[in-house]
Structure 1
Amino acid sequence: MHTDASLVVDFLNTVNVEERTDLLEDPGQWHEWAAGHALAANPPAEARAARDALRAAIGDPRLPAAHAEVGTRICLTADGPSLVAEDVVGAVFVACARLVVRGDWIRLKICPADTCLWAFYDESRNRSRTWCSMRVCGNREKARGWRARTAAAG
C-alpha cells in the first residue's frame, strides 16, 4: 500500500467499532501514535472531528457528512512544490490531497459489515473490493445471505 494511503487508513482506524475502542480517548496512546508517525498530536477533539469527517466522506454509515478545514502550507524544495504539515490532521489531509490528485481517493473504503466498519485501501485492479477481508467479513456476510435465502426457500 502506498505511504499516503497507509497514513490515512491508520488514522481512520484509530477507532475500532468491533472492539469499541477509540485511541483518541487515551491521550498517552494518541501521543504515542502520533510520535510513531513522526508527527505532532492534534488535540483529541480536533483529531476526532477530522477523522469522523473523513470516515463519513468515504462511506461510514454511522457518521453524517461534515465540513473540515485544515491549514497546510506549500514549500518550494529542490524537488519542486510540496504540501507541508507538521501535525497529524494536516499530514493526513495532505496525504488525502495527493490521493485525490493521483485518482486513488476512491480506493479508500469502509467495510460495510456493521460490526466492522474498518477503513481499508482497495488495491484491486478494478477497484471493486467491498470487504476489508474476504476471509472474515466477506465470508460472514455471504454466509448470512445464504442462510437467509435458504430459510426463506424452506
Structure 2
Amino acid sequence: MTEDVTLVLDFLNTVDVEAGTDVIEDPVRWAGWLAERDLAPGEVEPAAVRATLRAAAGDPTAAAAPVTAPVLVTVTEGTPKVEARDVVGAVLAAASRLAVLGSWDRVKICPADDCRWAFYDRSRNHSRTWCSMQVCGNREKARAWRERTRER
C-alpha cells in the first residue's frame, strides 16, 4: 500500500500551487518524472487525470471529468496482479487499490489557498486537515487569531 500512496501523491503533487510550477507541462521535467518511476507516457492526457483525482481528493479548484485507462489483470503463481501499460494506468490502478482497501479517503488536499499540496492522512481518526501543521496549519491559525483579535 505504501507504494500506491507514494505514486498517487507524487502524481497529484506534480502541480505546485505555491511555486506556480507544473511538471506535466514541462516536457523535460515530465520525462524525468516518468523515468524516475520507470513509467511510460500514454495516450490519456495526464493533466486531466490529475485534475480528476485531485477533485476526488477534495481540491475545490480542480475540475473532475470521467477518465479511463487500460489495465491488465493477471494471475501469476496464484496471485492476482493489476498491471498498467502507462503512467495513467499505473496511477489509476494505485488509486483503485487504495479505494478497495478503504484508504482513499485518507488522500487529502491541503485547504490553504497558497498550498493545495496532496497528503496522506495517517491520523487515527482521519481528522488531519493540513499538509503540515507547522507550516499551513500554523499560518491559518495565526491568520484566524489576528482576525479575531482585530474584531475585538
Same fold (TM over 0.5): yes
2:71 maps to 1:72: yes
**Residue number in structure 1 paired with 2:26:** 26
Letter in 1 for 2:121: D
Hey, what's the Cα distance between the residues in 1 that align with 2:95 and 2:29? Answer: 23
Corresponding residue number in structure 2 for 1:82: 81
* Residue pair 2:70, 2:85 contacting (<8 A) in 1 also: no
TM-score under structure 1 normalisation? 0.94
1:104 corresponding residue in structure 2:
103
Structure 2 residue aligned with 1:129 = 128
What does 1:12-23 align with in structure 2 at a 5 Å threshold? 12-23=12-23
* Cα offsets for 1:88-142 (capped at 9, x unmatched): 1100011011101111000000000000000001111111100000000000000
Count matched residues: 152
Tell me the SS of whatever aligns to 2:24: helix
- How big is each residue's C-alpha offset from its partner over 1:42-63, in whole Å with a ceiling of 9 and x where there is no partner? 36x7010110110011111112
Consecutive unaligned residues of structure 1, counting only runs of 5 or more, are: none
| Structure 2: gaps of 5 or more residues | none
Contact 1:60/1:110 (<8 A) preserved: yes
Q: Is the 8 A contact 1:118 1:132 kept in 2?
A: yes
Q: 1:114 maps to which residue?
A: 113
Amino acid at match of 2:145: W
**Partners of 1:35 and 1:63 in 2: how far apart?**
26
- Using the TM superposition, name which of 89-98 and 59-68 deviates more: 59-68
Take 1:21 and 1:42, find their aligned partners in 2: how far apart are those partners? 22
Give the percent of matched residue pairs that are identical in Structure 1 and Structure 2. Answer: 56
Distance 1:63 1:105 in 2: 17
Give structure 1 regions of 4+ aligned residues with deviation exceeding 4 angstroms: none
CA deviation map 1:12-45 (0-9, x unaligned)? 00000000000011111101101101111236x7
Given that 1:35 and 1:41 are in contact with CA atoms closer than 8 Å, whether structure 2 keeps it comes out as no
Deviation of 1:79 after TM superposition, in Å, equals 4.4
Answer whether contact 1:17 1:116 (CA < 8 A) is retained. Answer: yes
CA contact (8 A) 1:41 1:88 kept: yes
Which residue of 1 is the match for residue 3 of structure 2? Answer: 3
Residue 53 of structure 2 aligns with an amino acid whose one-letter code is L
Q: CA RMSD in A?
A: 1.3
